[in-house]
């Protein structure tokens, strides 16, 4: 009689009906459900428990769980039910709202597969490898079980297609952070940054979420040919903000402006009266400029080049020549050094050029001497 009653109860259901039930038994590949607090049981195949692949039914439900289900099939004495379809239907509604609103939400990574990550949102969500981070990731094995923030970038319910992106969340946050930094940065500020990239024309420095350019001319007080000679990737540096272009999101920075200038404490490095070695950098009509330290040049006036009279410095000096000089005067404020070469040279002795006549010739007039010579010629 109970079997007949069961068959009658079963036939009162149709495919697509929604029912409530309680889990009474969890087997390896299926779950037994008591429907609507009646004596009627239903079966949930393991494939209908979740939108994801399930190895064991106990991974999804336990005895005593109350579930909302949909009738998949009406058999003679049992109902075949689906938890997956009900979950998916509810999920699609929520997911469509999230997609329309551009909402950011958190979800756990359920699996790592070829080409990306899998997330269970009531329906299977896929995160392509290129949309996981804003940088290249070689191995995703550590991502399984990790909770991350996502945005939906593609949703097609009819094709059961749901594409998620964590990268979009990261980029959006960086964009907000960048705008905040651009609004807060002022010309003249000195900030700490990290060298991110080095190019032929300078270095890009991260100053808290936004990159600024340190042009090669602003890397050092010295002339440099290659930025990598003075900075390296990952290096912490102090930078001064030269300008901020908020419209084009460009920041010009300087490392040079945070360093002591080459003329700082020059009176200690080149005290008056000291002898130093330098290199002739430029020759001009009025003298020679000699580099004593990187970025520090002093003038040897033409009058201080030699004890001899010279018309042009080119007579005794050439560019690139290494010479010794004496410091005559130091002016740190005006950044001037007066130097001398001749102060380090010995003055050549002066020779007597007046010719003195022999003793026997004294008393004779020059005209008489010439007359005698003319007589001899006749």
Residues 14 and 55 in one domain: yes
Q: With respect to residue 199, please indicate whether it lies within any of the assigned structural domains.
A: yes
Residue 363 pLDDT: 46
Residues 15 and 81 in one domain: yes
- Tell me the residue range of the domain where 149 lies: 102-170
For residues 292 and 273, give the distance between their C-alpha atoms in angstroms, rounded to a whole number. Answer: 14
In the numeric block, the tokens 């290659």 are attached to 226
Q: With respect to residue 352, please indicate whether it lies within any of the assigned structural domains.
A: no
For residues 278 and 361, give the distance between their C-alpha atoms in angstroms, rounded to a whole number. Answer: 57
Q: With respect to residue 361, please indicate whether it lies within any of the assigned structural domains.
A: no
Residues 6+ apart with CB under 8 A from 66: 20, 21, 22, 23
Residues 134 and 202 in one domain: no
Q: With respect to residue 353, please indicate whether it lies within any of the assigned structural domains.
A: no
335-378 confidence digits (pLDDT tens): 999 999 999 988 766 555 555 555 544 444 545 544 555 455 45
Q: With respect to residue 357, please indicate whether it lies within any of the assigned structural domains.
A: no
Count of structural domains within the chain: 4
In total, the chain counts a number of residues equal to: 378
Residues 276 and 308 in one domain: yes
For residues 197 and 185, give the distance between their C-alpha atoms in angstroms, rounded to a whole number. Answer: 21
Residues 190 and 240 in one domain: yes
Q: Is the pLDDT of residue 8 over 60?
A: no
In the numeric block, the tokens 């009025």 are attached to 286
Q: With respect to residue 241, please indicate whether it lies within any of the assigned structural domains.
A: yes
282-327 confidence digits (pLDDT tens): 999 999 999 999 889 999 999 999 999 999 999 999 999 999 999 9
User: What value does the mean pLDDT take over residues 221-234?
Assistant: 90
Q: What tokens were used for 287?
A: 């003298």
Domain boundary among 258, 287, 309: 258
Element (H, E) at 107: strand 105-113
How many other β-carbons are positioned within 10 Å of the β-carbon of residue 112?
19
Q: With respect to residue 34, please indicate whether it lies within any of the assigned structural domains.
A: yes
pLDDT band at 7 (very low <50, low <70, confident <90, very high): low
Q: What is the CA radius of gyration of the chain?
A: 46
Domain boundary among 138, 170, 202: 170
Give the domain CATH number at 281: 2.40.50.140
Q: Which of 136-150, 221-235, 364-378 has the lowest mean pLDDT?
A: 364-378
Residue 349 pLDDT: 64
Average pLDDT, the chain: 87
Residues 7 and 78 in one domain: yes
Q: With respect to residue 237, please indicate whether it lies within any of the assigned structural domains.
A: yes
Residues 275 and 249 in one domain: no
Share of residues in the chain with pLDDT > 70 (%): 89
Share of residues in the chain with pLDDT > 90 (%): 61
Q: Is the pLDDT of residue 272 over 90?
A: yes
Residues 6 and 78 in one domain: yes
Residues 244 and 307 in one domain: no
Q: What tokens were used for 85?
A: 């379809």
Residues 6+ apart with CB under 8 A from 153: 131, 163, 164, 165, 168
For residues 194 and 181, give the distance between their C-alpha atoms in angstroms, rounded to a whole number. Answer: 15
Residues 243 and 312 in one domain: no
Residues 160 and 225 in one domain: no
Residues 272 and 332 in one domain: yes
Domain boundary among 240, 258, 276: 258
């Amino acid at each position: 009689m109970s079997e007949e009653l069961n068959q009658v109860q079963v036939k009162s259901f149709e495919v697509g009906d929604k029912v409530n039930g309680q889990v009474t038994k969890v087997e390896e590949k299926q779950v037994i459900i008591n429907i609507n607090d009646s004596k009627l049981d239903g079966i949930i195949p393991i494939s209908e428990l979740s939108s994801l692949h399930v190895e064991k039914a106990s991974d999804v439900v336990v005895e005593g769980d109350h579930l909302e289900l949909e009738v998949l099939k009406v058999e003679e004495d049992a109902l075949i039910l689906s938890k997956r379809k009900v979950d998916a239907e509810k999920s699609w509604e929520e997911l469509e709202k999230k997609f329309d609103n551009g909402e950011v939400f958190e979800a756990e990574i359920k699996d790592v597969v070829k080409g990306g990550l899998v997330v269970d949102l009531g329906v299977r969500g896929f995160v392509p490898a290129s949309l996981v981070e804003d940088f290249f990731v070689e191995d995703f094995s550590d991502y399984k079980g990790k909770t991350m923030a996502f945005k939906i970038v593609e949703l097609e319910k009819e094709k059961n297609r749901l594409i998620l992106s964590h990268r979009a969340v990261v980029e959006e946050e960086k964009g907000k952070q960048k705008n905040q930094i651009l609004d807060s940065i002022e010309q003249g500020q000195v900030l700490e940054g990290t060298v991110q990239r080095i190019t032929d024309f300078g270095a890009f420095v991260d100053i808290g979420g936004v990159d600024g350019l340190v042009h090669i001319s602003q890397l050092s007080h010295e002339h440099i040919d290659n930025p990598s000679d003075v900075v390296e990737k990952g290096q912490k540096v102090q930078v001064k903000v030269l300008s901020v272009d908020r419209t084009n999101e460009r920041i010009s920075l300087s490392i040079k402006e945070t360093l002591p200038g080459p003329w700082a404490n020059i009176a200690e490095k080149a005290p008056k009266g000291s002898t130093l070695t330098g290199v002739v950098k430029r020759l001009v009509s009025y003298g020679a400029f000699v580099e004593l330290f990187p970025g520090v040049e002093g003038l040897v006036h033409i009058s201080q080049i030699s004890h001899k009279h010279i018309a042009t410095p080119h007579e005794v000096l050439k560019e690139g020549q290494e010479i010794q000089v004496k410091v005559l005067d130091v002016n740190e404020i005006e950044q001037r050094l007066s130097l001398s070469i001749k102060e380090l040279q010995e003055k050549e002795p002066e020779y007597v050029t007046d010719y003195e006549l022999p003793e026997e010739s004294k008393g004779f007039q020059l005209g008489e001497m010439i007359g005698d010579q003319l007589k001899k010629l006749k």
